[in-house]
Structures are given as structure tokens and as C-alpha cells.
């Protein structure tokens, strides 16, 4: 009968409702000890009791260590949050990762145990992503792969399920057409006077917007005709955060084209306070960083005046990089001028130099004419 106990000289056996047998005894420390498992037959249960009694008689008995608790299940949500928190990354990058996780990854993988994510899950998620936003799609996949690569290094998963070839790569959804010299001139003339130098430095020195907005009087060397880039400002959750440029290579000195320098000097005299730490392009209070949103309205009007409604502020940097390539800058020179940490990043602008073939041919003809 289920629940029936068998009392013996040593220990006790009991038949469970499942039909299996449980054995227990009062140990030398006067605390009852159950067998670590149940037995198929009563004889097996009694055999275990006999072995335990022998260990006590021989003085070999020790209370067994309590079993280790089962490992907690680590979800993708918990692990990815820890992954982002422990990266040595800039606040803007962290904000970007958190956005990708919240918007694109956690709805699918958040509650899944890390070890349960498989290649079929990843392919299904990838297929559900909007192909009309290739950059977001590629960055989301790259982030998922990076998180799971770290989980693999931590021995939390046996292999990385991200196996879609080329999924981290993307082509530009929008082809950037650099501005011409004439268009830059029109845009500069159409901008409010206090922002004209910003457009000139962006276009002719190929500075990032965050670098431009953190330039200070002491960064401009008028005699040498250079601007020193050591800081950048980014907007994180609507607040300015000042840090270093995008990469270590971003800290650099950039030569200002001679035809631009007089306008920079005029800007320093008219719109920049005298202290060396004074911002070149301050906000309304004269001391805080200028909010990028302040530029959008005058920028839209200026680009419309130039017939370039497609041109973004960031495209000024692309324009400056393309013109530098057309002027004959080598890959290494482009890399240094743009503050890129790899040659590959500068390589995209070399295609513009192909357009110089006619200029080169014309120059060759002029060489022969000069000898006549």
C-alpha cells in the first residue's frame, strides 16, 4: 500500500505513491537523512541503508554536501544589458546600442535563454526585418552577433547562431552627391553670418558636426593656418556630452585652405569671445554648446537656395573628403585629414579622384605647351 513504512533496526523504508521506495535514517548528528534518490525495489532501498550503516560503524560517515543549486537560466535580455553596460564605449554609442536592442532585438530574443537561440531563430528574425532600412538591419545583426560572440567566449553557448553571410554589411541606402564649389558658396552666403564659418570648416576641412560644435578659439592657429581637433560633442538623450573624437585617429591637426582662412579670422573677431576656451559656435547663452537643431532651419533655407534640398549637414564632410581626393590626396593623407582609424574608411572617397582623369590629361598638354 502506498505510504506504508517499514520500521527496521536501522533506518526506515517507505513505498511512495509512484511505486518507488524511499530510504532514510537518523544520522550520527541526530538529523534524519534521506537517500539522494528513490529505489525501484524495497531490497534496493534496504541495500543502501546497509551500506550507510557500515560507513557509520567504520567511522567513515560524513554528512553529504547539499547539492549545488541548478544554474540560473541567463536570458538574452539580461546578458545583453550587462554586455552594453561593461563595454568601454562612448555614451552616444551606448545610446545607439540600447536603441537597437530595445527596438529590434529584445522583442524577439529578450526572454529567450541564450543557449536556446538557434540559427533558425536568427534567420527568421532577419527575414522579418524591413529590407528598406538596410543600415538599421545590418547594425542590429552586427550587435546581435557581437553579444553572442562574447557569450561564446564566456562558455554560455556552444556556438554562435549568427551565420548569415554578409548580414553585417550594407550599401548606402542613399547615395551622397557632394556639393560643388559653387553650391558651397551659395549655401555660405545664404546662412546667417555667425554660422558661415561652420559651413566653410565642414566643407573644406571635412570636420564632423560634433567636432565643429566643440571647436574653441585656442584650437585655431591663424598663423599656421590650422585647426586642432581634440574634442567632440554629442547629444545623448537630448543633453550635450563632451568627449574625445569618434576614434583615436580623430584627434588631429587639419590645415585650413588659404582661401577659407580670412573668413575664419573674421568669424573669430566678430562672433567668438576672447578666451582661448571660448566656443567658436556657442549656443544662445554664449557659453554652452550649440544645439544641432538650431542649425536645421537656416540650413534648409540655404540648401534650397543652392538647389540642393537633398544635402544634409553631415554631407559637408563627405564633400570635403571628396574634394581632398580630387586634389590628389593619397589614402594615407585622406585617412589623416579625416581622422579615420583605417584606410578602408578613406577608400570610399578615392572613387572621386577618377573624375580627375580629364584634368590630368589637360595638365599633360599644358606641360608640352610650356616647352614650346
pLDDT in tens, 261-315: 999 999 999 999 999 999 999 988 888 889 999 999 999 999 999 999 999 999 9
Q: Is residue 285 part of a domain?
A: yes
* Predicted local distance difference test score (pLDDT) of residue 192: 96
Over the range 257-292, which residues count as b (16 or more CB within 10 Å of their CB) and which as e?
A: eeebbebbeebbeebbeeeeebbbbbeeeeeebbeb
Q: State whether 37 and 109 are in the same domain.
A: no
290 and 344 in a single domain? The answer is yes
Give the model's pLDDT for residue 357. Answer: 52
Cα dihedral sign, 278-281-285-290: negative
Q: Do 198 and 124 sit in the same domain of this protein? A: no
Spatial separation of the C-alpha atoms in residues 121 and 153, rounded to whole Å: 21
**How far is it, in rounded angstroms, from Cα 340 to Cα 357?**
26
Regarding whether 83 and 47 lie in a shared domain, the answer is no
Is 305 in the same domain as 206? yes
Q: How far apart are CA 25 and CA 118, in angstroms?
A: 47
Task: Please count the structural domains in the chain.
Answer: 3
Does one domain contain both 144 and 17?
A: no
Q: Does residue 65 belong to any structural domain of this protein?
A: no
**Which residues are CB-neighbours of 19 under 8 A, at least 6 positions away?**
2
Residue 319 lies in a domain: yes
CATH of the domain at 212: 1.10.443.10
- What phi and psi values does residue 216 have, to the nearest 5 degrees? -125, 165
Domain boundary among 114, 133, 153: 153
> Which pLDDT belongs to residue 173?
53
Is 213 in the same domain as 318?
yes
- Based on the fold, state whether residues 195 and 343 are members of the same structural domain: yes
> Residue 83: its pLDDT value, please?
95
Domain presence at residue 258: yes
| Domain-embedded: residue 119 | yes
59 contacts: CB under 8 Å, gap ≥ 6 = none
| Phi, then psi, of 252 in degrees rounded to 5 | -160, 165
pLDDT < 70 positions in the chain: 1-8, 67-71, 171-174, 344-372
- Structural domain boundaries enclosing 120: 76-153
* 242 and 310 share one domain: yes
Is 256 found in the same domain as 288? Answer: yes
Q: What is the pLDDT of residue 64?
A: 85
Q: Is residue 367 part of a domain?
A: no
pLDDT tens per residue, range 80-126:
999 999 988 888 899 999 999 999 999 999 999 999 999 999 999 99
Specify whether 341 is located in the same domain as 246.
yes
184 touches 203 (CB < 8 A): yes
Say if residue 317 is in the same domain as residue 260.
yes
Residues serving a catalytic function are: 208, 314, 317, 340, 349
Q: Is 81 inside a domain boundary?
A: yes
Task: Establish if 316 belongs to a structural domain.
Answer: yes
Q: How far apart are CA 69 and CA 47, in angstroms?
A: 28
Amino acid at each position: 500500500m502506498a505510504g506504508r513504512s517499514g520500521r527496521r533496526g536501522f533506518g526506515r523504508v517507505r513505498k511512495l505513491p509512484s511505486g518507488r521506495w524511499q530510504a532514510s535514517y537518523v544520522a550520527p548528528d541526530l538529523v534524519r537523512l534521506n537517500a539522494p534518490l528513490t529505489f525501484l525495489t524495497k531490497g534496493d532501498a534496504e541495500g543502501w541503508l546497509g551500506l550507510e550503516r557500515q560507513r557509520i560503524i567504520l567511522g567513515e560517515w560524513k554528512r553529504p554536501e547539499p547539492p549545488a543549486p541548478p544554474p540560473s537560466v541567463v536570458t538574452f535580455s539580461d546578458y545583453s544589458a550587462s554586455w552594453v553596460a561593461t563595454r568601454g564605449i562612448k555614451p552616444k554609442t551606448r545610446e545607439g546600442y540600447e536603441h537597437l536592442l530595445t527596438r529590434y532585438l529584445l522583442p524577439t530574443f529578450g526572454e529567450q535563454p541564450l543557449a536556446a537561440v538557434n540559427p533558425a531563430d536568427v534567420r527568421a528574425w532577419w527575414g522579418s526585418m524591413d529590407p528598406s532600412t538596410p543600415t538599421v538591419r545590418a547594425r542590429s545583426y552586427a550587435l546581435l552577433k557581437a553579444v553572442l560572440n562574447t557569450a561564446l567566449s564566456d562558455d554560455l553557448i556552444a556556438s554562435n547562431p549568427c551565420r548569415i553571410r554578409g548580414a553585417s554589411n550594407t550599401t548606402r541606402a542613399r547615395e551622397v552627391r557632394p556639393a560643388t564649389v559653387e553650391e558651397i558658396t551659395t549655401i555660405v552666403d545664404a546662412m546667417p553670418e555667425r554660422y558661415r564659418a561652420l559651413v566653410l570648416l565642414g566643407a573644406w576641412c571635412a570636420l564632423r558636426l560634433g567636432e565643429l560644435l566643440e571647436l574653441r578659439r585656442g584650437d585655431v592657429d591663424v598663423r599656421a593656418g590650422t585647426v586642432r581637433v581634440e574634442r567632440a560633442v554629442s547629444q545623448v538623450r537630448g543633453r550635450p556630452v563632451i568627449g574625445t573624437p569618434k576614434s583615436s585617429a580623430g584627434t588631429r591637426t587639419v590645415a585650413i585652405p588659404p582661401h577659407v582662412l580670412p573668413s575664419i579670422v573674421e568669424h573669430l573677431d566678430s562672433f567668438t569671445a576672447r578666451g582661448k576656451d571660448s566656443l567658436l559656435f556657442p549656443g544662445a547663452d554664449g557659453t554652452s554648446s550649440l544645439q544641432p537643431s538650431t542649425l536645421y532651419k537656416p540650413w534648409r533655407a540655404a540648401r534650397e537656395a543652392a538647389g540642393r534640398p537633398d544635402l544634409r549637414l553631415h554631407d559637408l564632410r563627405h564633400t570635403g573628403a571628396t574634394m581632398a581626393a580630387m586634389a590628389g590626396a593619397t589614402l594615407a593623407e585622406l585617412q589623416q585629414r579625416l581622422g579615420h582609424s583605417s584606410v578602408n574608411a578613406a577608400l570610399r572617397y578615392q572613387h572621386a579622384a577618377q573624375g580627375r582623369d580629364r584634368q590630368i590629361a589637360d595638365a599633360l598638354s599644358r606641360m608640352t605647351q610650356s616647352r614650346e
